[in-house]
Amino acid sequence: MDKILVQGMAFYGYHGVFAEENKLGQRFYADVTLEMDTRPAGKSDDLNQTVNYALVYETAKDILEGESVQLVETLTERLANALLEAFPIIDACTVKIIKPDPPIPGHYEAVAVEIRREREGV
């Protein structure tokens, strides 16, 4: 299966278990891998035969800068589902959400959740 990778998308959202996270907000990063057949686009050079990367970014922005949730797992699941819904050409997607500098004791670089979801019937 062919893959399109959109990596290093940066957002500022208000998600977390602690009240301070919801009040002050923080950075989040997203990487997505979209599995699909890219041959039609490769042959035709037609954007309508593939996924528009700008729309992938806007979909991620809507989720990560949108409604506040507690868990990175929830953000990740919502983004995967939104991508599959928005782009019928996608057979499966892998979504990784990174939360740098989590407010937990000790020195941590980041926490992340990565999931892979397939379209039903694939």
Nearest Cα neighbor of 117 from 98, 99, 85 is: 85
pLDDT tens digits, residue range 44-53? 999 999 999 9
Of these residues, 3, 43, 61, 99, which one is catalytic? 99
pLDDT tens digits, residue range 11-23? 999 999 988 888 9
96 is annotated as an active-site residue: no
The span from the CA of 35 to the CA of 99, in Å, is 24
Sheet-wide strand order for 110-118? 2-13, 26-36, 92-100, 110-118
Cβ–Cβ under 8 Å, residues 30 and 98: yes
Mean pLDDT of 60-64: 98
82 CB-side CA count, 13 A: 19
**Is 2-118 in CATH node 3.30.1130.10?**
yes
